[in-house]
Amino acid sequence: MAHTRRAGLLAAALITIAACTGAAPPAEGAAQAGPRLTDPRPCPELTDVTCSDLVVPLDRSGKQPGTLKLQVATGNNTDAPRGVLLLLTGGPGQPGVEFYKSMAERLPKAVKDYRLVMIDQRGTGGTAVDCPTLQKEVGGSDTTPPSRAAVDECAQLLGKNRNFYRTADTVADFEDLRRALKVPSMTLDGVSYGTFTAAQYGLTYPRHTKRLVLDSVVPSDGAGALYEDSLHHARTVLRTACKEQACGFDPAKDLAEVVRRDDNGVPVFGMLVVASIIDPKLNNPNFRILDAIHSAAGGDTAHLNGLVAGFNDPSGTPPAKFSAGLHAATLCADTRFPWGGASAPVAGREQALRKAVQGIKPSYTWPFERKTAGEQGIPQTCLPWPRSVPNPAPPHTKLTMPVLLLHGDRDLSTPVVWAEELAAKTPKGELAVIEGAGHSVQRRSDAGARAAEAFLLR
């Protein structure tokens, strides 16, 4: 069931992502060579859909030569009455085109009125950034910390090209796509990291943005690098699940005992983040997550250890399915860390991280320890990442178009407080919280898909 409220008007401007150095994004309407879609062909296993390629410059400043070929899938209904719906996947690191069929099936009414378009964003899909050791160690995980050697290898493989996988570069690709489609504006629907790219497009090209659906919201200011809000939300998710199942114990208290005794906060947290995607109510009888936590607190850790190993297993995740290298390059360029932005010297980062972790109130991250915030994958990936050109701030500070912020109340990957905070800063924002749902609401919740369609067809 969706609980919807309209966000109020606030004077505070939307805080943009940190580290505003580097080249500014192209001005709206700036002249450039006309982009086009090339090599049209049938899309495998799709009807009435054409696949083609969008060729974009690797470096939009022109200093570094080279181009990237991005696969695009477009519905053949070019006369769709509501225009183009660009649906964006997450990560960063996930391809788009392979999800065309499943997302079209989730939004059947909207697809009749819109021309659905999906794109393999730069560094994903068939031309994905491939960092073999990092891929093997972390797969598609945000939370699994990689080895220093894996990060160093990835940075060396990318070299200076690591500077060209920022969100601003991807947003410029979307604008090239709009121009190639020859439409004056688009509606964008983003999931997870796709909410960030969609919002950044809206802040960069507001006149070309009709409306936005932001599903499982990533804040526009890059908040959550240390996952404090997710660690905090875990107690609510656990206790709500226990109440629904009448479990007869306090799973949050049990978890607190386990992670302090066994020093396994990061992998247990990673397991719960994945669970909030595939088992948000924690009631799947094949997993029995609450029972596993309770048994571990009593000394029998076998069940919990098995879940942790299985849910955090990176094997079988090739870069074409989720590029760990692209994930690292983008997050390390985009995110505000305790040491500052991507251009901060590597020396001193670890000290800044320790200070930030010590500044977190232990009660806020309970049942986890606050050190879990600093030991999980995002800061540990970017601690040794070489100095890079930061993601620039967009030219506008507030989303002025109609925006639906769609969220599951059990989501630990992108906790609901992130959506609440962005909704409060968005004049035409509507927040729909889907009870019992986790991450990627449109794909995994019928109520979420219907809420998105109702907004899109309004």
Note whether residue 83 is domain-resident: yes
Note whether residue 344 is domain-resident: no
Strands 37-42 and 49-57 come out as: antiparallel
Note whether residue 271 is domain-resident: no
- Asked whether the beta carbons of 394 and 200 are under 8 A apart, the reply is yes
Q: Residue 49 forms beta bridges with which residues?
A: 75
Opening angle at CA 293, ends 291 and 299, nearest 5: 105
Note whether residue 123 is domain-resident: yes
Note whether residue 257 is domain-resident: no
- Asked whether the beta carbons of 369 and 362 are under 8 A apart, the reply is yes
- At 219-245, the pLDDT tens digits run 877 666 899 999 999 999 999 999 999
- Asked whether the beta carbons of 14 and 217 are under 8 A apart, the reply is no
Q: What's the pLDDT at 33?
A: 58
Q: What's the pLDDT at 20?
A: 32
Count up the domains in the chain and report the number: 1
Spans in the chain with pLDDT lower than 50: 1-32
Question: In a 10 Å sphere around its CB, with 0-12 CB exposed, 13-18 middle and 19+ buried, how is residue 221 labelled?
Answer: middle
Its pTM stands at 0.91
Residue 159: which residues within 8 A CB-CB, separation 6 or more?
Answer: none
Q: What's the pLDDT at 93?
A: 96
Q: Sign of torsion, CA 132 335 198 61?
A: negative
Q: What's the pLDDT at 223?
A: 60
Task: For residue 76, give the CATH number of its domain.
Answer: 3.40.50.1820
Note whether residue 384 is domain-resident: no
Note whether residue 365 is domain-resident: no
Cβ-based neighbour number of residue 368 at 10 Å: 28
What is the extent of the structural domain holding 193?
2-128+160-222+395-456
Note whether residue 359 is domain-resident: no
